[in-house]
Amino acid sequence: MKNSKEIIAQDSTVLVGVDVHTAEHVVAVKVDGEIVCKGVKIAPMPEEWERFMKRFPGCEVHVVYESGAHGYNLRDWLVEMGGEMKGVAIFVHIAPPCNVPVVPGKRGVKTDRRDGIRLIQAFEMRSFDDVVVPDKLQRAQRELVRTRLQFKAEEKRLKLQIHGQVKFHGIERPICYKMWSDGWRKELVNNARLADGTGVVAMSLRMKLKILREVEKVVEVVEKKIEGLYRSDSSSGQRARKIAQQSGIGLTSAMVIATEVADFRAFRNSEAFASYIGLVPGERSSGETVRRGSITKAGNRRLRWIFVECAWAWVRCSDAARSRYERLRGRRGKRKAIVAMARRLAVRVYHSMVSEVVV
């Protein structure tokens, strides 16, 4: 391994496990059932990976790494490289971290070298289904929708801070204006001046209201962009319009679902889709003992949250959904009932997207 140009394998099937980091990629290589090298460090650049792949002439190379903060950059490099590099067939597999098993007895030992080997073993055991990778346009559209969610969360956080400050300092809330209107905000600052003679509290409140206004402007711009995307002929827009035909799902919610799910047909059935969202009950059973607990909360938390929110809207606007919810609430309580409705809604959306008929 000292010579970076020496041939590692030729005309073989090669498994490459990669532990991806910002500064370097740590690689383990298995050829014909034997780990031939581990702990090899590759700079995270396309040209370095191209140089490494040239050491496997005539080989079928399967590269495995975990999905994470570094996105799909490595996969993009290798896919593009596979189309250009002669004599080397490159296949990339991205594993969900939760589906990569830990070797029994070695849970307290974690190194980059071991992680690469562990990924190879997970691939050999078929312990995971490959992450479905959206194309670059879908990723950009997803980022736009996620940006709105992030700024809406920031907007909510600022409003809670302002409410807390008003309560703590005993500032009188205006009652002659609609809450959060321009007049309400201006009057609130005036009341803060009266409550605190130093003016410091009023200044702090004014700064927070100023930041809140800027955040609201960003949200407005992003929402207009999302609405344009929803009405466009793009694949995400077309899918979102179909999803929005389901009662309880509006424009923004439909765009969240359409962009977060790269391909509905990648799921074997509706149960697999509900499991991906984390809306299936956890279970610990042995022999004749069966114990089912709360939902797993595994998978995509944004989808889980949006389906629960849409379930509340569905219950409000649909008599049939409301009737079913009331029956469930009587037996299982309010929280479990709405989660059950969210799962039912997710199943309806799944079937509408994998068939030509909207359920």
pLDDT of residue 106: 60
Does the structure show a pLDDT above 60 at 289? no
Taking only the tens place, the pLDDT of each residue in 27-47 is: 999 999 999 998 999 999 999
- Band (pLDDT 50/70/90 cuts) for residue 282 is low
- Band (pLDDT 50/70/90 cuts) for residue 295 is low
Give yes or no for a contact between 123 and 15, defined as CB atoms under 8 angstroms apart.
yes
pLDDT of residue 43: 95
Predicted structure pTM score:
0.86
- Mean residue pLDDT of the chain comes to 90
Give yes or no for a contact between 344 and 314, defined as CB atoms under 8 angstroms apart.
no
Structure tokens at 20: 């991806």
* pLDDT above 90 coverage of the chain, percent: 80
pLDDT of residue 287: 56
Taking only the tens place, the pLDDT of each residue in 211-263 is: 999 999 999 999 999 999 999 999 999 999 999 999 999 999 999 999 999 99
pLDDT of residue 6: 86
- Band (pLDDT 50/70/90 cuts) for residue 95 is very high
Give yes or no for a contact between 30 and 38, defined as CB atoms under 8 angstroms apart.
no
DSSP codes, 233-292: SSHHHHHHHHHTTSTT--HHHHHHHHHH-S-GGGSSSHHHHHHHHT-SEEE--BTTB--E
CA dist., res. 202 & res. 151, Å (int):
25
Residue type, 222: V
